[in-house]
Structure 1
Amino acid sequence: MSGLRAGCSLFRTLSSIAPRSFSRSATGNGLRTLSVRTFASPATSTKQSTEGTSFDDLSDGLKRYKPITPGMRHVRRPINTHLYGGKPLRALTLPLRKKGGRNNSGRITVRFRGGGHKRRIRIVDFMRHEPGEYDVVRIEYDPGRSGHIALIRARDPKAEGMSKWKYILAPEGLRAGDVVQSYRAGLSEELMRALQDEEADDKKRTKREKKAKREKQEKPGHESKSPAASLGAGVVRGQTIKLGNCLPIKYIPLGTVVHSVSLNPMGKGILVRAAGTYAQVLYHEENGRHSHIRLQSGEIRKVLSNCAATIGKVSNPLWNERQLGKAGRSRWLGRRPRVRGVAMNANDHPHGGGRGRSKSNKHPVSVWGWGTKGTRTRKPGPKGPKNSNKMVIQERPRGKEKRLRAAVPEEASA
């Protein structure tokens, strides 16, 4: 043993005395440094560091996280880097007292509700009655709706205090620094004059075109030049048809995409307010009383021309592509587990009971006994209630018609 120890000590002594050689990593770094070309990309491939990022796929505008936990494996979230990360303007919020799906007598009227994160209600202005220019300060997240909201500030120096601050529903593409305006109270005198000049020029242009057409038929070699189009339409549209502006539908050109449509000339916008939805102006009647719009569902209906709408479609269009990933996120949103009827007792649901957990040979019904899973509960059209659908020109597609409509874009793209 003593000889073995002496040999080990001699080996250590010799290794400490011998000159040190360059390590393999150091030599490799030196060669890599010498081979780098300053006028082009590096000659050797260097692996980029991915530390600090927990997601790797951003191709379709959605965050997909690395599956470091089972709850993160299927999570998909829209990328909204433009959203403000702080708290809302407190003066434009109200506390939300949760009811857990109970009414004033304490009975459950909406099932599977309860819990959830603490919230404050954002007071959003859907009326847009006050005219004037407003600057967009920031775009914010609203836990009470699927779309985003925009905080705007009035340029009017007479506005003082909190009267110059508002929340509005943010259309897609609106960013901080933009300017929005409401023409719901009416257009200015200059715009009205330009609009009247445009209508007069349209009538004169129509008469001249008809006259030129007759002359061309009589004299084939004669060609008359049509007058230049009026600049009235360009002036009006350039100042009014902007993203986020609110104005009566009768001033909106055909084919324009709108949202937050009102059904009362003095009421608030109640149609087309969910994330990514939009309506389209199709036709203005000659008498000027009604306009035809196509809603997101495909329904075409009449709306009073004096009703207001906002230009653009609602923000956050990828909201319906999100995936929560785990049950806990549903609980954070205030949703409790939805229990199936066949899993209940017989006194809790018509499908309940039975040792084999079968609803037997019954038609599927709700907990209150109504028909469900395809059973129609409403009679549309002339067979329905009186004057229930008198403003609907074409109902939304259902069943086979709806599936065909969804398949048309795929065939067109192919």
Structure 2
Amino acid sequence: MLQPRVALRGLQLPFRCLSSISSRAPYLRSYSTEVQQPEKPQQETPPPAEESSTTFDPSIAFAPPPTRDEAGVQLRTYKPRTPGVRHLRRPINDHLWKGRPVHKLTFPKKGQSRGGRNSSGRVTVRHRGGGHKRRIRIVDFERKAPGPHVVERIEHDPGRTAHIALVRSQETGKLSYILAADGMRAGDVVQSYMSGIPEDLWKSMGGVVDPGVLAARTAWRGNCLPLHMIPVGTLIFNVGLYPGKGGKLCRSAGTFATVIAKGGETPQKDITTMGPEFTTAADGTEKTEEARPLTQREKQKIERAANHVTIRLQSGEVRLIHKDCCATIGVASNPNYQYTQIGKAGRSRWLGIRPTVRGVAMNAMDHPHGGGRGKSKGNVDPKSPWGLPAKSGYKTRPKWKVNKAVVVPRPRNQGKRRRGYN
């Protein structure tokens, strides 16, 4: 129903009653329309990884951040033939694969885990259940396989908001799924350097690590590198938390982090031993203090700075990540997902999302806010369904600041006047 109609211009119809349709074919309108925006100059595609070009263009190598201006967002709208289509908005992703996924790289999602239950069958996540039958795609977050990989196609993954790319190794021919970067298309060549620098790249640098040449040859969009090989200021996604493990951070659609500092770029006084210092006394004379050995805390600080890389997340949080953790150059694909409008409640049920009911609309046995006559919480503080305070910073304050309420039993008839007593 949501597909555009097939134009009937030029078709020879054998039925006389359908001859009028062909005459009106130029005036037929499709179900879906695209919001056209001013065209922006397209960036050139980076050369394949196997070429030995040493030219470095930051506009090509590093993926730019996604646009945050709604005027530049392209969404597909639909003709309101039904109420559920009137407010439907979808990002335009015409480059996605229209067929099924590779069957051997998927497994079915079934069982009680689809309904938000744990191993004992109890509901641990509310508002989950139902939904369309789906298969889980096996995504390679570690990217340990070396060598160039050719992107076969870009696919939609129903289990995540970002797109995935089907890549084939040029050396072994093995297929695998990886997280697609924004701007990645079929035919691109990506490579992983988690197992080390290739031999041909060593020879091109003369057997010595040249940071400029190394960045120009490796820091391309979609390549997976250790954090210590990524230049400062690069946008990355699919960032790992532990060496040898897969990516954990910035895996959702349109997310990215920024490398702001590396261990070798810390101030010199922080990474060397404490040498002689010059101080000025009250009378104006300068005194020299002798060098002292480093304390255990200072040694740990120096070692931590040398073995970690500082990154900034989109939330503004600054984190120290080990230099051997993996990261992918670029921005996670499908950045316009945040502007999606599903249009109707039934589409949420297809996604496995059940309705959310307000507490004041429940009975007293189902929620602390339930019961009573009319819209009333029963003169109680906002609480969760399990009786925990829901506001006033209860969840955001540190535990040592939370004052646990001590319930003291009140003596019988205290504070009440009984008949016959003053």
| Aligned residue in 2 for 1:79 | 92
Q: Out of 149, 152, 155, which is 1:137 matched to?
A: 152
Secondary structure of 1:280's counterpart equals strand
Q: Write out per-residue CA displacement over residues 313-345 of structure 1, whole angstroms, 9 at most, x where no aligned residue.
A: 100001111001100000000111101110111
- Pick closer, same or farther for the CA change 1:190–1:152 going to 2, 3 Å: closer
CA contact (8 A) 1:151 1:165 kept: yes
State yes or no: 1:88 paired with 2:101: yes
Distance in structure 2 (CA, Å) of the matches to 1:185 and 1:146: 29
Secondary structure of 2:87's counterpart equals coil
Distance in structure 1 (CA, Å) of the matches to 2:138 and 2:213: 34
State yes or no: 1:248 paired with 2:258: no
- Pick closer, same or farther for the CA change 1:52–1:272 going to 2, 3 Å: same
**One-letter identity of the residue aligned with 2:317:** E
- Pick closer, same or farther for the CA change 1:259–1:382 going to 2, 3 Å: farther
CA contact (8 A) 2:32 2:76 kept: no
State yes or no: 1:324 paired with 2:349: no
CA contact (8 A) 2:151 2:188 kept: yes
Distance in structure 1 (CA, Å) of the matches to 2:207 and 2:397: 44
- 286-295 or 259-268, which moves further after superposition? 286-295
State yes or no: 1:268 paired with 2:278: no
CA contact (8 A) 1:249 1:308 kept: yes
Distance in structure 1 (CA, Å) of the matches to 2:86 and 2:237: 35
**One-letter identity of the residue aligned with 1:306:** D
Distance in structure 1 (CA, Å) of the matches to 2:373 and 2:190: 63
Matches within 5 A, 1:7-406: 49=27, 51-55=29-33, 57-59=35-37, 60-99=73-112, 100-156=115-171, 159=172, 164-189=174-199, 191=201, 194=205, 197=208, 232-286=210-264, 288-373=306-391, 375-379=393-397
Distance in structure 2 (CA, Å) of the matches to 1:344 and 1:148: 39
TM-score, normalized by length of structure 1?
0.68
Distance in structure 2 (CA, Å) of the matches to 1:327 and 1:374: 32
Q: Write out per-residue CA displacement over residues 375-411 of structure 1, whole angstroms, 9 at most, x where no aligned residue.
A: 3424569989xxxxxxxxxxxxxxxxxxxxxxxxxxx
Q: Tell me how far 1:191 sits from its aligned partner.
A: 4.0
The structure with the greater share of residues assigned to helix is: 1
Q: Tell me how far 1:292 sits from its aligned partner.
A: 0.4
Structure 1 unaligned residues grouped into runs of 5+:
1-46, 199-231, 385-414
Distance in structure 2 (CA, Å) of the matches to 1:354 and 1:98: 38
- Pick closer, same or farther for the CA change 1:380–1:183 going to 2, 3 Å: farther
Q: Greater CA radius of gyration, 1 or 2?
A: 1
Secondary structure of 1:288's counterpart equals helix
Q: Tell me how far 1:195 sits from its aligned partner.
A: 8.9
Q: Tell me how far 1:111 sits from its aligned partner.
A: 1.4
Distance in structure 1 (CA, Å) of the matches to 2:185 and 2:35: 25
Distance in structure 2 (CA, Å) of the matches to 1:71 and 1:360: 37
Q: Write out per-residue CA displacement over residues 180-199 of structure 1, whole angstroms, 9 at most, x where no aligned residue.
A: 1000011135545739756x
Distance in structure 1 (CA, Å) of the matches to 2:145 and 2:346: 43
CA contact (8 A) 1:58 1:64 kept: no
**One-letter identity of the residue aligned with 1:138:** R
- 138-147 or 281-290, which moves further after superposition? 281-290
CA contact (8 A) 1:195 1:236 kept: no
Distance in structure 2 (CA, Å) of the matches to 1:133 and 1:179: 6
Question: For this pair of structures, how many residues does the alignment match?
Answer: 300
Q: Tell me how far 1:369 sits from its aligned partner.
A: 1.6
Secondary structure of 1:139's counterpart equals strand
Structure 2 unaligned residues grouped into runs of 5+:
1-24, 38-72, 265-304, 403-422
Distance in structure 2 (CA, Å) of the matches to 1:133 and 1:139: 17
Q: Tell me how far 1:108 sits from its aligned partner.
A: 1.8
Q: Tell me how far 1:371 sits from its aligned partner.
A: 2.3
Q: Tell me how far 1:63 sits from its aligned partner.
A: 0.9
- Pick closer, same or farther for the CA change 1:382–1:269 going to 2, 3 Å: farther
Distance in structure 2 (CA, Å) of the matches to 1:379 and 1:285: 33
Q: Identity of paired residues, percent?
A: 53
**One-letter identity of the residue aligned with 1:329:** R
Q: Tell me how far 1:128 sits from its aligned partner.
A: 0.7
Q: Tell me how far 1:91 sits from its aligned partner.
A: 0.4
Q: Tell me how far 1:366 sits from its aligned partner.
A: 1.0
Distance in structure 2 (CA, Å) of the matches to 1:139 and 1:380: 44
Secondary structure of 1:309's counterpart equals strand
